[in-house]
Structure 1
Amino acid sequence: MSLAHGSGTDGPADERILVIRAQRGNQRAFEILYERYNDRICRYLIRMIGNDGVGCELAQEAFIKAWKSILSLRDPARFGSWLYRIATNCAYNYHEHEKKRLRNVSWEEYEKEGKGPVAEGPERQVEESELMKQVLAQVSPTYRPCLILYVVERLPQRQIADLLGIKESSVSQYVSRGKEEFRRIYYRMSGKGQGK
């Protein structure tokens, strides 16, 4: 059957069937769900955390948690939303753990450690990309998921509300506040807001 190879219709009914099969212990059905969602969840967590390696590790953690607790999912049609909530909780738990474990290094200390000026060109683009990841990782955990899903993943607000289990009006508010917080952090970290 086409579901075994992941080549059939990829609609909601197909996904619901895969979830029900996974709930009955069918590992192949869960592997197909993993293949469908892994890239999205990994990208989402990389942006939540600001670190490629940690984001991918947390994605694996999210899928392991999902497999272990798939029987707790009451509505198989809501698998995507449920999985995003698990991933979001993994990111929140990681941030809480890191807060307790490490002190934050200020941008000024970073510059003093000899990172110095960088040549223009591709290196500058990489540096800017890394700065954006770091800035995004510092946006409040309340706003960050909505900001990532709306601005980066370009999902509609209704879908974001569904994925995160919040009101659609909250999505709009969180995106707006998240953008403002992102700007403030970016200008502080880049030194562009200091009148140099």
Structure 2
Amino acid sequence: MSERGRHFVGGLLDHAPALVALTAPTVESYDRLALGMWASAYTCWGHDNREAMVRIPSVNTDNPEAGTRIEFKPSDNTNNPYLAQVGLLAAGFDGIERELDPGPSLNADPETVAEDELADRDISRLPTSLEAALDAFETNEVLAEALGDALHQSCLEVKRSEWNQSIEDGEQQTEYLARGF
């Protein structure tokens, strides 16, 4: 991968907690972003690593470093592809502009790596709920600028409304079940 490609990946990793608000935009999306689901649960990258957030598939298994295609794994079919693409490009271009180094590739399941090694490599867990992703998205200046204020605020309002409705629905279901129905 080229130096510019590495910086692009660095941008994706840096903005990952906010990006998933666009690429995994529903309450249910976070059921999939769980450990061991091949959808990625950690902010890492790797060659042919199905558990990495950014996967660089090998063109030639004898030389995995020759891969140039990037897969952003914590994404699902509920996203708006236009919003997701704007977010991914803005994050990647920010990485190029700031020359962010993604660090060495992780070619193991992050769940099997010791916590201190993950911390040393600045690998963290992606948000585990839409609410947590929206909190990161709300304060991410790069994504806010890329979307523009009106669209950024609109996304936040709609998705927070969906999150709040899921909480209300869950509370109503709990009350219903508590009554013995």
TM-score, length-normalised on structure 1? 0.34
* Higher percent of residues as helix: 1
* Higher percent of residues as strand: 2
